[in-house]
């Protein structure tokens, strides 16, 4: 290894959709978050303000599409240093996906004041693939899903040793009507554009937390 290895400038970020229901609103919210971040990054480039980390690409990861069984590895993930140590092909595939990513944006609903079981299950499958990587949390719910966000910070930062941004984004449904619409997977009228929608004002918070995460890439 050369003494001065070239600084990495291209980063691949995984945006993880934490909800796996049918119907659901999680995919719309993930699109909104991704659109907000991408339009911010494009604007930075247009303004000539892109940092040395300008080459950022995204991979959307849908927990529903992973189809992981309930955790069924015989070993403890933190003790496994190489994917050949996993017993199952689904774990090796998941390991390869997460190992190939440099940071993570988790977009997740709050379920009963906690983390959705499918998301927690997917997190528990691995350890060294998450360890040391930057992460940010966007939660949503009737009151913004702040309890889920707090639990995520403990799991990601404490349990998995990730560099999780202390501030989280908590998106609140502004009315009962919106909460019912969300639960039924109806169109919430979201888009990542500037004067977009019920969460137009939350876009600056998303960008602030994103920029914090980018600093630790």
Ligand X SMILES: Cc1cc2nc3c(=O)[nH]c(=O)nc-3n(C[C@H](O)[C@H](O)[C@H](O)COP(=O)(O)O)c2cc1C
* Residues contributing to the site for ligand X (CB under 6 A): 19, 21, 24-26, 109-113, 141-143, 182-183
Give me the sign of the Cα torsion angle 25, 26, 31, 32: positive
CB of 89 to ligand X, least distance (A): 28
Judged by beta carbon, residue 21 or residue 161, the one nearer ligand X is 21
Q: Nearest Cα to 63, choosing from 127, 109, 101, 128? A: 109
Judged by beta carbon, residue 175 or residue 215, the one nearer ligand X is 175
CB of 99 to ligand X, least distance (A): 27
Burial classification of residue 79, based on how many CB atoms lie within 10 Å of its CB (0-12 exposed, 13-18 middle, 19 or more buried): exposed
Judged by beta carbon, residue 36 or residue 110, the one nearer ligand X is 110
Q: For residues 98 and 130, is the Cβ–Cβ distance under 8 A?
A: yes
Judged by beta carbon, residue 86 or residue 173, the one nearer ligand X is 173
CB of 142 to ligand X, least distance (A): 3
CB of 171 to ligand X, least distance (A): 10
Q: What angle do CA 84, 90, 91 make, to 5 degrees?
A: 50
């Amino acid at each position: 290894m050369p003494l001065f290895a070239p600084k990495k400038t291209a980063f691949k970020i995984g945006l993880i959709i934490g909800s796996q229901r049918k119907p659901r609103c999680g995919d719309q919210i993930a699109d909104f978050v991704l659109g907000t971040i991408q339009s911010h990054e494009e604007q930075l480039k247009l303004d000539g303000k892109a940092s040395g980390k300008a080459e950022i690409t995204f991979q959307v990861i849908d927990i529903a599409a992973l189809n992981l069984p309930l955790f069924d590895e015989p070993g403890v993930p933190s003790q496994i240093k190489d994917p050949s140590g996993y017993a199952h092909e689904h774990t090796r595939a998941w390991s390869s996906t997460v190992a190939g990513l440099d940071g993570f944006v988790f977009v997740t609903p709050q379920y009963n004041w906690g983390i959705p079981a499918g998301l927690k299950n997917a997190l528990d499958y691995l350890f060294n693939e998450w360890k040391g990587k930057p992460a940010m949390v966007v939660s949503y719910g009737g009151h913004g899903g702040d309890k889920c966000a707090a639990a995520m910070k403990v799991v990601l930062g404490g349990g998995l040793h990730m560099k999780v941004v202390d501030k989280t984004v908590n998106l609140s449904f502004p009315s009962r009507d919106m909460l019912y619409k969300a639960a039924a997977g109806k169109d919430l009228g979201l888009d990542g554009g500037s004067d977009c929608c019920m969460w137009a004002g939350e876009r600056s918070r998303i960008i602030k937390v994103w920029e914090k995460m980018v600093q630790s890439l």
